[in-house]
Chain A
């Protein structure tokens, strides 16, 4: 029972860490109506940004907000140079563009800043929190809390005047233009916000494994999270994340030693396939959204 409980808690917290990555995806979709397949590479880039600022001798509490500003600016640049000319274009071309951006960043950023894993020390204690025979990883715990805080902030943001404008842009670019909303600015802001969310994800995941290209591999579980939770649902990210994390931890916890291999990716793939087949808009997504 303790083993099951530990897997359950560990999975839920890991899932919330996935939700941190997925949040950027949803922020862009909810604001700009663009499925962003570059979110994994954005997290990797953000991790490099935190490491770079720390390598200048700044403490982590200063490095994270500075990296946040850098990534917000990076999001604006992506919009200005790449996304702006895609406004009004078929969504599939925008998806391909973000896929191209993912591949570009994954090669370019380690190429410039070095491909060996870079350390980020957040000062989180190694010692787990122990309750009975259940061990709880502190990095995952803090990551889970950070995810909940960010999701709460995102929910609040979309209730503001600017957030409402972004939702309008997501619904219909042409109508938004017609009522005087700057679609370009809205899309730029959404990419900037996704960049800020990526900084938190990149710092936490980077502190656990080091910063290198493999951070971009977090796109896969993040996509499972948004498909399950609903690509336009912020609170769906939390529940989707917890479910993906729990299923991807508990099932391998019992099956891996029997199967002789890791079953986690199989579980994640099944979540994606079954959700699309049974409920293509996810648990909390709007039913009229397009399948990506």
Chain B
């Protein structure tokens, strides 16, 4: 299939092969991760490639002997972005022995969060879920482990400051009308007061296949910078409609959900558009090269080869790299890997960058975001090219927003 991705049906079918095949004979310990994600509804734009990267990385680790003899098994199921199905899938996977869960769905993660914490199972929420779960004192078993949406907005704003200045400038934030779309509001408000810029929000209805009225208004607002905060097909519509309204591609800055597929949909006009990234894209990274050599080349990959190295694939790889590192640290001293040991392992992660695939993260008992670093990259017509260094922007301000939000949890 030209430029396609592994379809979710084949992926789910291959899951059985992963469980009984790659894991091979029963080892000293089999560590199970529940990758219970949305293959059929809202997150379909990312799940296929993301999950493919996750499965391929776990295969790589197993091919390389696991960690201390322990191998990894992925339990992959479709939740359809429905909390009810997610809860059912969680309970089944928990019975099967899974100790870490990635739902890649904000509503499903939210629905299971309390139960998972009560069960002392780890939930990772990279690039989705509650940003305030970064506060490990309130959410001890939840690990965003990458830049939250607040940290992403801060990173983009800092990039604007460095490249064109902020004082007296205008930023238009064009977003899908959902809690996710409204997420950057508080941090932009705080930053606008600190950096003396003006910003205005322009919402559009979900899923975003028609945004003309929002962009007509944006054009008349005459912004210096534009931030787009959506996902899936709506992102391509945003970029197209922005350009059709005279916004230059160089003015457009996106949340993390803008990838190669969106660039293909927009076409050559996409050149110059920028986005936040939490992991590097491309093949030129040691982990990706080893996956290529030991998993893809022998035909053990879990999806289309064309996806290997693209943005969402690499994001998936990075999530499992961090999770496996946490398991390795948790198993130090011969500890049995359960939810508690895994949590302890996460909180021992210091300066880990997945061999350069992502910014170095340090996770502590209080900071489950891992520092919130990232960078900005630009579409050059063929690929994403970094235009800033890995770093965390306005970390104190972001932390303040996290703690403020977390303080309301359960009240």
Contact = CB atoms under 8 A, between A and B. Distances in A.
A262 B206 CA distance: 9
Contacts of A265: 205
A209 B208 contact: yes
A253 B216 contact: yes
A212 B244 contact: no
Interface in B172-219: 177, 200-210, 212-214, 216-217, 219
Interface residues of A, number: 48
A126 B243 contact: yes
Interface stretch (B42-50, B136-144, B155-163): B42-50
Interface residues of B, number: 54
Contacts of A115: 5, 7-8, 39-40, 44-45, 47-48
Interface stretch (B261-269, B327-335, B351-359): B261-269
Contacts of A63: none
Contacts of B45: 115-117, 212
Given A116-B48, A253-B213, A209 B5 contact: no
Contacts of A250: 213
B150 to A, nearest CB: 19
B177 A137 contact: no
B240 interface: yes
A107 B85 CA distance: 15
Contacts of B386: none
A257 B215 CA distance: 12
Interface stretch (A147-155, A165-173, A174-182, A213-221): A213-221
Interface in B197-255: 200-210, 212-214, 216-217, 219-220, 232-234, 236-237, 240-241, 243-246
Given A14-B212, A261-B177, A113 B7 contact: yes
B2 A55 contact: yes
A77 to B, nearest CB: 20
B3 interface: yes
A252 interface: yes
Contact of A116 (B2, B5, B214): B5
B264 A119 contact: yes
A248 to B, nearest CB: 8
B90 to A, nearest CB: 21
A7 B213 contact: yes
A103 to B, nearest CB: 10
Interface in A120-135: 121, 126-128, 135
Contacts of A210: 233, 236, 261-262, 264-265
B212 A257 contact: no
Contacts of B269: 126
Interface centre among A121, A214, A217 (most CB of B within 10 A): A214
B233 A3 contact: no
B240 A213 contact: no
A209 B233 contact: yes
A137 B212 contact: yes
A116 B234 CA distance: 12
B4 A3 contact: no
Contacts of A253: 213, 216-217
A6 B216 CA distance: 8
A253 B220 CA distance: 12
A114 B4 contact: yes
Interface centre among B48, B49, B209 (most CB of A within 10 A): B209
Nearest to A140: B212
B7 A114 contact: yes
Given A209-B208, A210-B236, A214-B234, A3 B220 contact: yes
Contacts of A212: 44-45, 232-233
Nearest to B40: A107
A181 to B, nearest CB: 39
B203 A117 contact: no
A92 B245 CA distance: 45
27 contacts: A3-B217, A114-B5, A115-B45, A115-B48, A116-B46, A117-B45, A117-B262, A118-B265, A121-B267, A126-B267, A140-B212, A208-B240, A209-B209, A209-B233, A210-B233, A214-B208, A214-B233, A215-B209, A249-B212, A253-B213, A253-B216, A256-B213, A256-B217, A262-B204, A262-B205, A264-B205, A264-B213
Interface of A: 3, 6-7, 10-11, 14, 55, 106-107, 110-119, 121, 126-128, 135, 137-138, 140, 205, 208-210, 212-215, 217-218, 249-250, 252-253, 256-257, 260-262, 264-265
Interface of B: 1-9, 39-41, 44-49, 177, 200-210, 212-214, 216-217, 219-220, 232-234, 236-237, 240-241, 243-246, 261-262, 264-265, 267, 269
Q: Which 4 A-B pairs have the closest CB atoms?
A: A115-B44, A210-B265, A262-B177, A253-B213
